[in-house]
Amino acid sequence: MNERETLRINEKGHLEIGGADCVELAKEFSTPLYVFDEAYIRKMMRVYRDTIEREYGGNGLVLYASKAFSCEAMYAIAREEGIGTDVVSGGELYTAIKVGFPPERIYMHGNNKLPSEICDALDHRIGCIVVDSASEADLIDEEAGRRGMVQDVILRINPGVEAHTHAFVQTATPDSKFGFSIHDGSAERMIAYLLTKKHLRLLGYHSHIGSQIFEKGSFVLAVEKNLAFAAQIKQKYAFEPEVLNMGGGFGIWYTDEDRKITAEEYGEYLSALIDAVKRGCTLHGLRLPRILIEPGRSIVGEAGITLYTVGAIKEIKGVRKYIAVDGGMFDNPRYCLYQSKYTAVLANRAAEPPTELVSIAGKCCESGDLIGVNMNLPAAKTGDILAVLSTGAYNYSMASNYNRNLIPPAILVNEGKAEYIVKPQTYEDLVRNDVLPPRLRR
């Protein structure tokens, strides 16, 4: 096993996260269970925040991309750490506001924001809306006018840099439902359009080039292209960006095919981006914009693990061995969606070396319901506690009640102590919104 910053094997041979023994956690809180290490989350938020402070005079803001893992505690932690957040739905906005997140540090995203979401954003006076369509710009303008206010917005542009984990490609006409291309004139047309709007104040640009990216050059290239574009727009429209939002996308460790990046190295990624902004602004005669970044996965991904109990074991001779667990695609759909790879550990036998390649199956009625294939484990037995690592991002937030399974609870551990941040669902929760028309009642 590749020992993670947040994980260790204790003297009992058990996996520990944030100082808590995973076997004890499974006993106390039952499985399946999401476990998050608070110290790791805070450390990552601070690394980004402090890098902007130190290397850019604090002229920027880290926005936690809350789609990665959204719950009240996460917004409260981000609030305490003095960073902002990006929300992509009325539900995320509602949750942030509920815990007293400063609205001016909330940015709203989405390629098809609902009218109700736009109205909520305006009513809560959030800091900024990232515009992603002309119809949305019309609606924000109209609703802001109705409220007698001017809303700060930034435009989502597409620099044509597509990053793929360890490499990147440039495309002039990216095929994406997000943003406006800087190459085909559509971004320019949108800027000209936004500048005519009385109740919108265009602050600058946003781009997000992808996720799980390890290649610094991808981010640097995107900055360079965005600033070259900003310079053209300045010449033509006398509009200079006050804000440059570079999105998220820093990669994390899932398996040993990925690089393991320390918290400090993530700071270096951000430094490279800051340097590129400084260089680009000097080159193009632009004033230094406020820099925003939107990390999600790199803040919370490796901070989280999922604990399961091993149930049925089935070996199909010459084909594969299935280890079934009490969770599955309803708590982690990422293998089904993208064949994402994970590392698994038997938490109660964490010191034992792996001896076989197995597939970890969920309990849903789908043959594709797998957590992973060809995973290295010691010979698992029914009742073992299986930990799947790096499940903090895009697991709970993508969970569902498929097959009317209960979405697992989440706990936060800190110096060995654990507490719920998402409590267990009950069967009563599952039927809460069901309606049985009188004619169907017995």
Q: Which residues are catalytic?
A: 365
- Smaller CB separation from ligand PLP, 200 or 300: 300
The answer to whether the beta carbons of residues 168 and 221 sit under 8 Å apart is yes
CA max distance for the chain: 76
295 lies in the site for ligand PLP, by CB under 6 A = yes
- Smaller CB separation from ligand PLP, 60 or 295: 295
249 lies in the site for ligand PLP, by CB under 6 A = yes
65, 220, 223, 305: which one contacts ligand PLP (CB under 6 A)? 65
Contact string 342-361 vs ligand PLP (x = CB under 6 A): --------------------
Pairing of strands 304-316, 385-388: antiparallel
CA distance 213 to 222: 13
289 lies in the site for ligand PLP, by CB under 6 A = no
Binding residues among 373-402 for ligand PLP as defined by CB under 6 A: 393
CA distance 86 to 70: 10
What is the Cα Rg of the chain in Å?
23
- Smaller CB separation from ligand PLP, 68 or 121: 68
90, 174, 267, 296: which one contacts ligand PLP (CB under 6 A)? 296
Q: Which stretch binds ligand PLP (CB under 6 A): 13-21, 115-123, 242-250, 365-373?
A: 242-250
Pairing of strands 417-422, 410-414: antiparallel
Binding residues among 95-114 for ligand PLP as defined by CB under 6 A: 109
Query: Shortest distance, CB of residue 156 to ligand PLP, whole angstroms?
Result: 7
37 lies in the site for ligand PLP, by CB under 6 A = no
405 lies in the site for ligand PLP, by CB under 6 A = no
- Smaller CB separation from ligand PLP, 25 or 410: 410
Query: Shortest distance, CB of residue 392 to ligand PLP, whole angstroms?
Result: 10
302 residue type, one letter: E
Query: Shortest distance, CB of residue 322 to ligand PLP, whole angstroms?
Result: 30
23, 61, 68, 77: which one contacts ligand PLP (CB under 6 A)? 68
Query: Shortest distance, CB of residue 222 to ligand PLP, whole angstroms?
Result: 13
Q: Give every CB contact of residue 280 below 8 A, 6+ residues apart in sequence.
A: 223, 224, 226, 227, 228, 286
Tell me which residue of 260, 274, 360 sits closest to 309, measured CA to CA.
Answer: 360
Query: Shortest distance, CB of residue 296 to ligand PLP, whole angstroms?
Result: 3
Tell me which residue of 89, 59, 190, 81 sits closest to 137, measured CA to CA.
Answer: 190
Query: Shortest distance, CB of residue 331 to ligand PLP, whole angstroms?
Result: 18
Query: Shortest distance, CB of residue 342 to ligand PLP, whole angstroms?
Result: 16
143 lies in the site for ligand PLP, by CB under 6 A = no
Q: Which stretch binds ligand PLP (CB under 6 A): 17-25, 133-141, 296-304, 329-337?
A: 296-304
174 lies in the site for ligand PLP, by CB under 6 A = no
- List interacting residues with ligand PLP (CB under 6 A): 65, 68, 86, 109, 208, 211, 247-250, 294-298, 393
